[in-house]
Amino acid sequence: MHKKGKPAVAIASIAGTEAALAMLVRSDLAGKIKRVSDLRFHSIGVSTGSVNSKTYQQMVAEQILGESGVAIKEIRWVPTAQNWESIKSVLTSKSADAIFCEEPFATRAAESGLARFLFEAKDTKASKALASGGPLRAVISMRAGTARQDEEARVLVSMLQQSLAWMAKATPQAIVDKLNIADANERKELLRVLKRYSGIFSHDASFSATAVEASARFLTATGAITDSAAIAEVINDRWVGRRP
């Protein structure tokens, strides 16, 4: 948004120390494809962008593959939507050999027997790109210009901080119960994900210096920015501050 001239800034970070992203291989190919490096000359389902832009998921997937020695030209991308029906369809139809997606779809694919994990971002030692949670996941706001806009942003951040502080102390079960989800399967799925990724959320919405640096490296590596210092232009930490 900022690159396109829109006055967008990140005013708070929800990112913890883990990113809920994973690479999975179809179960029927698990005996042949045992690691990310084995995906060379195979197809991968991922949420893709347009001809002129890539989604965050595709850019991360490219970095994960690159770290394992797989060149982008050695992969055929299969577009998927960010919903279970799309991911399930790609796996059951065998349109793709593997998928790269977010939770809760990764865990659901594995537990339904359709796929097996090759890579989990929660294992920070497995990827430099996603070490300590990787790039920022943030609350975006249009740049404030009036006292009213500033107050609205402050209230929003305050509400977020209260929620994150409560979640940091609550059990996964308490968080699920608080949401009053009617569907029993959805409750169980969310509970499994929260237990699997205990560090997915920030405790206070502050900006981690590590995450900011990771974002700068990521955006520079993907060509979104040419100077890592430019990351400072899209972060406004006046309400939440920064931490190491």
% of the chain surpassing 70 pLDDT: 93
Span 161-185, average pLDDT: 95
Q: Tell me the fold of 21-120.
A: D-Maltodextrin-Binding Protein; domain 2 (3.40.190)
Tokens of 243: 């931490």
Summarize the confidence of residues 128-147 as an average pLDDT.
76
Where do the H-state alpha helices sit in 68-104? 84-92
Reference 10, options 140, 142, 187, 186; nearest CA is 140
Summarize pLDDT for 63-92 with one digit per residue, the tens: 889 989 999 999 999 999 989 999 999 999
Cβ atoms of 139 and 9 within 8 Å: the answer is: no
Report pLDDT for 179: 94
The Cα–Cα gap between 237 and 118 comes to: 36
CB-based contacts of 123, cutoff 8 Å, min separation 6: none
**In this predicted structure, what is the pLDDT of residue 229?**
85
pLDDT in tens, 20-79: 889 999 999 999 999 999 999 999 999 987 656 678 888 889 988 998 999 999 999 999
Q: Which residue spans of the chain are classified as CATH 3.40.190.10?
A: 21-120
Q: What is the DSSP string of 193-237?
A: HHHH-TTSB-SS-PEEHHHHHHHHHHHHHTTS-S-GGGGGGGB--
Q: How many whole angstroms separate alpha carbon 207 and alpha carbon 198?
A: 19
Torsion, Cα of 102, 60, 36, 29 (10° steps): 40
Residue 217 has pLDDT above 70, yes or no: yes
Q: Residue 132 in 3-state DSSP?
A: helix
The number of angstroms, rounded, from the C-alpha of 235 to the middle of its chain's C-alpha atoms is: 18
Does position 240 have pLDDT exceeding 70, yes or no? yes
Question: What pLDDT shows up at residue 44?
Answer: 97
d(CA 65, CA 73): 11
